[in-house]
């Protein structure tokens, strides 16, 4: 099918190889190369369409965004045009990131403005939640660990997105990675005051963001980088509750969203989300780096420093040469990572601070031991994977096999800090469960379904996880020494700071997993092991 781009066309659908619209007579092949297939959506002043580029081999798919203001008033038309140009320039500057759509072309034709960008195949988070239901705590941590580096990337390029919400986040089909779309409401710098009141008025209808997701300072047309942090926090609440902000209650005095009674997550994650959702911008996290620290996900800062998420300069320039359009827009943005050294310094500072804290903790423990044993405490199962005694004053709670399975069937999903060592849970369905800081030493979980489960800081030494489903599981700081993971599905799992010494990964599927070569070098692998890049072979 060919679709007519004339906004006033009464019947825009045409046969696939038509040259002109049978209804209004408009030319159907845009810029003599783009065949529009179908509409994808329409916003305040733009409509988007799926198209194919007939000038390239294979006629690859692309997205066409057409300027389509709701009124022809000169002031609104000019403002819409400026916003559209701003989106094109922004994509040209930051679109060399694999989780941001690339700008392919940008031009004006017959007094209409068109932006051509990479087509992202997949479902939006809004569609995903409607189909699959709410996210678990592990799912939220994985979502944040994937989106916060993207947010830091665009903020480092002095861009505020201003419209982060589930409908603007697509899980790409080919690799299941989140992609941030729709940069039509971006702001390219932070200003302390509005200097042009007429601009303020004209912008309000189109660039204020989405009510409920946008924080108060953004609704007042004074967005800052922390405004995107707030919107990301609201998105997390939506993922946890499946409720839109308009369906939630608010404190009439403070304006705070009332969400905490609706979710079953750890106090730690609640604290992080609470700070992301602070109504007062001064009390909110100021950067994605701060949120990562709060989540204890500092290793993701190092991935930024290493340029893991940025495509090469050569590829970007080659792409620019292959597509006609405004070359100044395509090439204005630097394709290097000017902030990588700064992020590396932050990561180094974090490592130094943690080392100092560990040293101080060691000295403190030595002093305690050298003195008299004033009070003996039972600590069985309370030592975490780093060897610290964070739960000294509390005996780890114990479950037997039937008790745990019965609790899970009744809807319980939180077994954090529990002693589950040596249980026989072979073949059990325990998906989307919180095992944070739990003891699972020598536990038999062979063939168990542990999809989307949280094993952060848990001890799984010598556990049997052979053939288990651990896709998208979260192993931040977990102890996996000697664990049997033969044939396990570990696709898109997160292993930041996990100990894999002696772990058996023969035949395991690690496609898309967040795991370092250093960690893998400590484990056992064979030619059946699927590497993170999807290829089989020894690591």
CATH number, domain containing residue 506 = 2.160.20.80
Examine residue 331 and state whether it is found in any structural domain, yes or no: no
Q: How many CA atoms lie within 13 A of 80 on its CB side?
A: 22
- In angstroms, the CA 234 to CA 219 distance is 15
Give yes or no: residues 426 and 462 share one domain: yes
List pLDDT tens digits, range 161-177: 989 999 999 999 988 88
Instruction: Indicate if 405 and 466 belong to the same structural domain.
Output: yes
Q: Is pLDDT of 512 > 50? A: yes
One domain, residues 406 and 536: yes
pLDDT for position 384: 40
Q: Is residue 35 located within the same domain as residue 155? A: no
Statement to judge: residues 289 and 308 lie in one domain = yes
| Contacts of 55-64 spanning 24+ positions with Cβ under 8 A | 56/322, 59/35, 60/119, 61/119, 61/121, 62/34, 62/104, 62/116, 62/117, 62/118, 62/119, 63/101, 63/116, 63/117, 63/118, 63/119, 63/120, 64/5, 64/30, 64/34, 64/36, 64/114, 64/115, 64/116
Q: Are residues 110 and 128 both part of a single domain? A: no
Task: Of 3-12, 221-230, 290-299, give the lowest mean pLDDT range.
Answer: 290-299
Q: Assess whether 252 and 181 both reside in one domain.
A: yes
Residues 31 and 180 in one domain: no
Structural domain includes residue 520: yes
Residue 142: domain span: 122-192+204-315
Q: How confident is the model at residue 350 (pLDDT cuts 50, 70, 90)?
A: low
**What is the b/e burial string over 482-502, where b = at least 16 CB atoms within 10 angstroms of the residue's CB?**
bbbbbbbbbbbbbbbbbbbee
Indicate which CATH number applies to the domain containing 304: 1.10.510.10
Whether residues 234 and 361 fall in one domain: no
Number of domains making up the chain:
4
Q: Rounded to whole angstroms, how far apart are CA atoms 367 and 480?
A: 30
Q: Is 110 a catalytic residue?
A: no
Do 162 and 72 reside in the same domain of the chain? no
Residue of 163, 182, 454, 489 with catalytic role: 163
Span of 130-139, 317-326, 327-336, 411-420 with lowest mean pLDDT? 327-336
pLDDT value at 180 more than 70: yes
Instruction: Please write the tens of the pLDDT for every residue from 493-502.
Output: 989 889 999 9
Grade residue 352 by pLDDT with cuts at 50, 70 and 90. Answer: low
Whether residue 493 contacts residue 513, with contact meaning beta carbons closer than 8 Å, is answered with yes
- Tokens describing residue 203: 């912008």
Average pLDDT over residues 506-528: 91
Residues 110 and 135 in one domain: no
Q: Tell me, what's the pLDDT at 356?
A: 52
- CA 194 to CA 217: how far, in whole Å? 12
């Amino acid at each position: 099918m060919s679709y007519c781009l004339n906004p006033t066309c009464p019947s825009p659908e045409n046969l696939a190889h038509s040259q002109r619209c049978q209804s209004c007579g408009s030319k159907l092949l845009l810029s003599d190369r783009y065949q529009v297939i179908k509409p994808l959506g329409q916003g305040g002043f733009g409509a988007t369409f799926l198209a194919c580029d007939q000038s390239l081999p294979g006629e690859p798919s692309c997205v066409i965004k057409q300027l389509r203001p709701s009124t022809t008033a000169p002031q609104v038309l000019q403002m819409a045009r400026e916003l559209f140009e701003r989106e094109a320039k922004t994509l040209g500057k930051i679109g060399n990131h694999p989780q941001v759509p690339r700008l392919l072309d940008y031009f004006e034709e017959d007094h209409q403005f068109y932006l051509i960008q990479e087509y992202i195949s997949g479902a939006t988070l809004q569609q995903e939640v409607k189909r699959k239901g709410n996210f678990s705590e592990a799912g939220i941590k994985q979502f944040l660990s994937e989106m916060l580096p993207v947010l830091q990337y665009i903020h480092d390029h002095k861009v505020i997105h201003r419209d982060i919400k589930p409908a603007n986040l697509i899980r790409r089909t080919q690799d299941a990675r989140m992609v941030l779309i729709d940069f039509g409401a971006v702001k390219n710098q932070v200003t302390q005051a509005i200097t042009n009141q007429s601009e303020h008025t004209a912008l309000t209808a189109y660039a204020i963001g989405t009510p409920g997701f946008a924080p108060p300072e953004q609704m007042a047309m004074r967005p800052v980088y922390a405004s995107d942090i707030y919107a990301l926090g609201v998105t997390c609440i939506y993922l946890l509750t499946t409720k839109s902000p308009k369906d939630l209650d608010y404190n009439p005095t403070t304006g705070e969203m009332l969400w905490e009674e609706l979710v079953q997550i750890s106090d730690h994650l609640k604290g992080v989300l609470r700070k992301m959702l602070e109504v007062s911008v001064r009390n909110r996290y100021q950067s994605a780096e701060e949120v990562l620290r709060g989540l204890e996900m500092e290793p993701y800062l190092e991935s930024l420093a290493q340029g893991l998420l940025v495509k090469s300069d050569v590829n970007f320039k080659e792409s620019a040469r292959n597509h006609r359009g405004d070359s100044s827009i395509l090439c204005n943005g630097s394709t290097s990572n000017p902030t990588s050294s700064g992020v590396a310094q932050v990561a180094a500072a974090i490592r130094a601070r943690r080392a100092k804290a560990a040293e101080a903790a060691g000295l403190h423990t030595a002093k305690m031991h050298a003195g008299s044993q004033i009070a003996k405490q039972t600590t069985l199962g309370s030592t975490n994977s780093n060897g610290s005694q964070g739960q000294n004053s509390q005996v780890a709670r114990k479950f037997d096999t039937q008790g745990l399975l019965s609790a899970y069937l009744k809807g319980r999903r939180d077994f954090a800090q529990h002693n589950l060592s040596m249980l026989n849970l072979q073949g059990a369905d325990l998906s989307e469960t919180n095992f944070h800081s739990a003891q699972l030493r020598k536990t038999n979980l062979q063939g168990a379904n542990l999809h989307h489960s949280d094993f952060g800081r848990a001890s799984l030494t010598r556990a049997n996880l052979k053939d288990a489903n651990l896709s998208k599981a979260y192993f931040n700081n977990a102890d996996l020494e000697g664990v049997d993971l033969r044939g396990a599905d570990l696709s898109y799992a997160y292993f930041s700071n996990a100990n894999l010494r002696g772990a058996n990964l023969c035949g395991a599927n690690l496609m898309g997993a967040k795991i370092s070569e250093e960690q893998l070098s400590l484990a056992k692998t064979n030619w059946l092991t699927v590497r993170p890049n999807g290829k089989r072979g020894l690591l």
